[in-house]
Amino acid sequence: MAKISIDDSLCTGCGLCSSNCPEVFEVGDDGLAHVISEKCDSCDIKEIAEQCPVNAISVG
Ligand code: SF4
């Protein structure tokens, strides 16, 4: 299974990832995106990672 991680120093909390896939990403009260699940059956996480404007999401 892919390991999804977010670089806190890059994330701006824009919410794009969480609106693309709320099952995996959530923007917390700290204004940063967090991974709340390692997988989603209906989303392509790599594609969502590529859409992050600051490239904060890595899927490895
Ligand atoms: S898309 Fe990128 S910058 Fe925006 S909330 Fe998600 S991880 Fe952070």
Match 């923007």 to its residue by tokens: 27
- Ligand 1 contact via 27 beta carbon (within 6 Å): yes
- For 10-39, the DSSP string reads T-----HHHHH-TTTEEE-TTSSEEE--S-
Residue 1 has pLDDT above 70, yes or no: no
Can you say whether residue 31 is alpha, beta or left, with left for phi > 0 and alpha for psi between -120 and 50 degrees?
left
The predicted pLDDT at position 39 comes to 87
Which residue has a Cα nearest atom 3 of ligand 1? 11
Residue 6 has pLDDT above 80, yes or no: yes
Average pLDDT over residues 28-33: 98
Mutate to test the pocket of ligand 1, among 4, 6, 12, 51 (most ligand atoms within 8 A of CB): 12
- Ligand 1 contact via 13 beta carbon (within 6 Å): yes
CA 15 to chain centre: 9
φ/ψ of 15, rounded to 5, equals: 90, 0
Over residues 7-27, the pLDDT tens digits come to 999 999 999 999 999 999 999
Match 């999401």 to its residue by tokens: 57
Could you tell me the pTM of the whole model?
A: 0.93
Average pLDDT over residues 42-58: 97
Domains of the chain: 4-59 (3.30.70.20)
